[in-house]
Amino acid sequence: MRIAIASDHAAFALKQLLIPWLTAQGHAVDDLGTHGTESVDYPDFGHAVGRAVADGKADRGVALCGSGIGISIAANRIAGCRCALVAEPLSASLARQHNDANVIALGARLIGEEMARACITAFLATEFEGGRHAPRVAKLGQIEGIPA
């Protein structure tokens, strides 16, 4: 699977731990920045990961910032990106299963490396259930102006 990953400065260290782990799991990883600990604006990186997934350049995305909140809001500004802020594996699974989330956001200041890995593992392993959830997800696209 091709994974786009991006972070702001607050989550740079966590991103640097996750990239080799994702690669070792057999995924192709596109690091969309930031590339250091200097202060940056999280919307730039939320937009980058959201755009990569919405444009089909990545199958799924991981967005990281201090709390996960700001970068998830930024990613969700991109039509076709469905980013879910998660803090544990059940939410990560349900985001995929019920909401067809294609990006997850994690708060580096709130969860550790092991919980981040558990969330990402659940997110990547879970398929969209469809069925009764499909019309709801389609409605999200209609709000964004994307035909069903």
How many CA atoms lie less than 13 Å away from 100 in the CB half-sphere? 18
Active-site option among 27, 65, 83, 119: 65
Our answer to whether residue 65 is catalytic in this structure is: yes
For 12, 45, 142, the CA distances from 31, given in Å and listed in that order, are 11, 10, 30
Active-site option among 47, 83, 98, 119: 98
For 7, 34, 42, 89, 125, the CA distances from 96, given in Å and listed in that order, are 21, 26, 23, 11, 9
CB 64 within 8 A of CB 106: yes
Q: Integer distance in angstroms from the first to the last C-alpha of the chain? A: 24
Our answer to whether residue 98 is catalytic in this structure is: yes
Residue positions annotated with a catalytic role: 65, 98
